[in-house]
Amino acid sequence: MDTAQALKDLATAAQLTASATAVLSQTDLTAGHAAYFALLTEHLGQQQSRTQLHAAHALRRTGAHKLDQASFQAITDAGTNPTLEQIEATHGHTIAGRTHFKSARGLMHDWLDIPRSTAGDRLVQADCLIGRIDEAGQQLDPWLPELAATFTDPTVDPRLVAATASKLHSARKDLGEGKAGRDKLRQLQAKSVAFLNAEPKSARKHINDLVAEVKSGKRPLKALLECIGIFKRGTRQGLVEYVLRVLPSHAAFIEAFFAKVDNPATVAGNRERLKDAEAHFTGEPGSDWDDEETMPDWAKGGNRSGPDDEDPDDSPAADDPDEDPGSDDPDDDPDSEDPDDAPADSSDSQTPEPAAPWEEMKPERRRLIGLMALLMTNRTTDSQPEPGFGSAQVSIVMNWEKMQRQAQDFAVTSSGIPLSPGEARAALCTAGIYPLVLNGASLPLDLGRTQRLFSKAQGRAIRAAYRGCSYPGCSMPAERCELDHLDPWEKGGLTDIASADLNCPIHHIGRHCGLFRTVKIAGHRPLVLLSTELDPEQKLRVNTYFMTPNEALDAEAMAQQLTIGWRAGALALEFAEA
């Protein structure tokens, strides 16, 4: 096929896409056709992103920014519905004199109306994945050859590959020069490709962690201590901004504290009490002020607005009704309500509607309120626990073999934060140590048929070992997950470590509904087998979201080996009963 016919096909494809979209967006679809519409559109978007990079590369490779005015006029005349004759007339002619555009990036921005930053990103990604162009206009090999091969794989999302290329390119100055730098780049590529092929849902997180490790380097503790602290940035839009920089060991406690505040089942995360706590230090009326005796002097006898006087547009939910993009899981607040569905305010209403659960608040604001309650509320030994006062319990998992080899990543918190050897030694000296047996017979933590529910010690061990939900790609931390009997208790199952898994409430129910299957293999943690419509390859999977990059690579390799053994009939496994 010649290039003219290919361009004609591309124009026809654009017309067909527009025509199909017009029909599908204005016609009542069945649920199945809507899902198929979304699937085909997503595949089209993936192909489109790959085409955009090739187009950017072609612009620079051919020097299209040097086309003369007549050439651009011919392209404009051809439009988006050209004939083959019109396409033939657009071959174009480049000149050495002054032209409209200085570079391919300028052409993309000024002629195609592509944002300058987006144009730059596409050209960088083309350098990494398709090929570089030297000063003489000759094409060179791509900067990331292993990733470039993955970019051509139709089974891998090219958008994720392109984002990975940009991430690795940002670390080019931190890799060093010479053979050592080239070796680091090859290792980064190999690990990134492994993540992209194994579990795309967690790949972005692990690749970001890999690049962060490269950029941070091995800085001495003294240098780190010089940079930690709370820094005031000033006042912006009526808010005072601070920047908090902490050691990983500090971050582990902060994350554990946030996990307590985010969990509505804990005292620290009690939604109504947190709401009252915010009222105490913001001055907004709270439920405690309904009692005249607990009302501050300035509020007594004043014109205090009640629920009926409140402007619905000033509610937290109406201020930002959408789910915050920084939330860990889109299902974190399943009970939140759309403010547009709230009943209209009525002054003659005798019995106001009960307040909706305090779940529409952003996690960031909720955590700040818990922290402020921790700082501002007086606490005595005989008082009731206040909101925010959750004992931040951090589990540290230490790998004995890595510690013997003096590896840097032998200690990892239950939230996946690696600790330096010094921080791990400090934790051993200051923390309350619980002896947890994560491998071996696990007899001290097995209860057999003596009781139905898992003990606190068992729960601590399981959460420390698995760190989060078992479903691949799920970001729900262990503190928000439920202990799951893999062998039904009512059918003779045991309350033992080997018969337990960790699932968030959504995937716990999903497993019992048969939406996916949990696989038990002696000597290994439980694995997950997705349904055939989600995973036609039927691979055994493990959720690596809360693991460090090295741990994730080891876990993915283990899952792949087990999958090969299972398909070859050389591995005995058991499916947990739903």
User: Taking the domains of the chain in order of start, what are their residue ranges?
Assistant: 3-216, 398-430, 443-575
If one compares 58 and 298, the residue with the highest pLDDT of the two is: 58
The pLDDT of residue 471 is above 90:
yes
The pLDDT of residue 19 is above 90:
yes
The pLDDT of residue 345 is above 50:
no
Model pTM greater than 0.85? Answer: no
Confidence grade of residue 163 (pLDDT, cut at 50, 70, 90): very high
In sequence order, the 6+-apart residues with CB closer than 8 A to the CB of 523 are none
The span from the CA of 269 to the CA of 273, in Å, is 8
Question: What pLDDT score does 513 carry?
Answer: 92
Question: What pLDDT score does 135 carry?
Answer: 79
Range 239-257 average pLDDT: 85
Q: Are 199 and 541 in contact (CB under 8 A)?
A: yes
* DSSP class of 411: E
DSSP string, 509-536: HHHHTTSEEEEE-TTS--EEEE-TTT-T
Question: What pLDDT score does 542 carry?
Answer: 94
The span from the CA of 370 to the CA of 363, in Å, is 11
Each residue's pLDDT tens digit, 98-112: 888 989 999 999 999
If one compares 348 and 450, the residue with the highest pLDDT of the two is: 450
Confidence grade of residue 390 (pLDDT, cut at 50, 70, 90): low
Range 329-334 average pLDDT: 38
Percent of the chain with pLDDT over 70: 76
The pLDDT of residue 455 is above 50:
yes
Q: Which tokens hold the place of 186? A: 């090859």
The pLDDT of residue 156 is above 60:
yes
* Backbone φ, ψ for residue 177 (5° rounding): -105, 170
Contacts 24+ apart (CB under 8 A), 77-82: 80/11, 80/14, 80/15, 81/11, 81/15, 82/7, 82/8, 82/11
If one compares 297 and 119, the residue with the highest pLDDT of the two is: 119
The span from the CA of 270 to the CA of 31, in Å, is 38
Q: Are 130 and 152 in contact (CB under 8 A)?
A: no
Q: Which has the minimum average pLDDT: 112-126, 321-335, 390-404?
A: 321-335
If one compares 568 and 405, the residue with the highest pLDDT of the two is: 568
